[in-house]
């Protein structure tokens, strides 16, 4: 169930929405520094607890710290692993870390921050498509539009339990052939938007160029 929930969330949020533990390590250290105001939030609390588990040298100590993490998850203080990756605070953290010029990890930032920028473009394109394709073009009840609406809603939901509930509800509402329908509509939607005035916008220009070359 956990893997299925994460897959549902990730599919709606786009590939650039996910970051590995290695990619976020420097950002987490920076974001969770005392004085920045985030150290008691669910993201930093989880990082503190998992970091403590990783640094445990005795098996009994490790078990005790794992139990502490499980208790924090049960109390709702931190997110479980399946929904932690979709925590909106994680994206806020990555945006702020990439924008900060005082950190001395330019090499680490170079690749991951390109993905952060790609994600921001993805979110901006999704907003345009929700307004144009789903609204103006009348596809609001389609599977692709429902997926985009779900992704937008998840990204504005801070509580991990609520994000998981949204994912389960969304997955249950999907038809059996949802994946094929979404793929087919995605192609139709891109053909239409690339042929429209939006296809000339910076947000869509390179994407539309690639789309035309693959036709």
DSSP per residue over 16-74, as a string?
Answer: GG---HHHHHHHHHHHTSTTSS-TTSHHHHHHHHHHHHHH--SHHHHHHHHHHHHHHHH
Q: How confident is the model at residue 52 (pLDDT cuts 50, 70, 90)?
A: very high
The answer to whether the pTM exceeds 0.95 is no
Q: How far, in Å, CA of 187 to CA of 182, rounded?
A: 9
Half-sphere exposure of 137 (CA within 13 A, CB side): 17
Comparing 83 with 119, which gets the higher pLDDT? 119
Q: How far, in Å, CA of 198 to CA of 202, rounded?
A: 9
Q: pLDDT tens-digit profile of 117-173?
A: 998 999 999 999 999 999 999 999 999 999 999 999 988 888 888 888 999 999 999
């Amino acid at each position: 169930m956990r893997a299925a929930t994460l897959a549902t969330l990730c599919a709606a949020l786009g590939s650039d929405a996910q970051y590995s533990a290695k990619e976020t390590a420097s950002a987490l250290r920076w974001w969770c520094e005392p004085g920045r105001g985030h150290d008691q939030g669910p993201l930093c609390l989880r990082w503190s607890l998992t970091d403590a588990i990783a640094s445990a040298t005795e098996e009994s100590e490790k078990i005790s710290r794992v139990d502490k993490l499980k208790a924090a998850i049960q109390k709702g203080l931190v997110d479980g692993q399946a929904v932690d990756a979709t925590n909106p605070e994680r994206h806020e953290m990555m945006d702020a870390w990439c924008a900060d010029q005082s950190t001395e990890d330019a090499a680490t930032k170079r690749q991951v921050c390109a993905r952060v920028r790609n994600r921001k473009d993805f979110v901006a394109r999704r907003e345009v498509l929700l307004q144009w394709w789903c609204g103006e073009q009348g596809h609001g009840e389609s599977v692709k539009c429902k997926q985009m609406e779900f992704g937008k809603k998840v990204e504005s939901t801070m509580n991990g339990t609520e994000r998981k509930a949204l994912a389960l509800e969304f997955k249950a509402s999907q038809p059996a052939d949802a994946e094929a329908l979404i793929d087919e509509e995605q192609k139709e939607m891109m053909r239409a938007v690339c042929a429209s005035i939006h296809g000339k916008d910076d947000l869509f220009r390179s994407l539309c160029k690639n789309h035309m070359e693959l036709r």
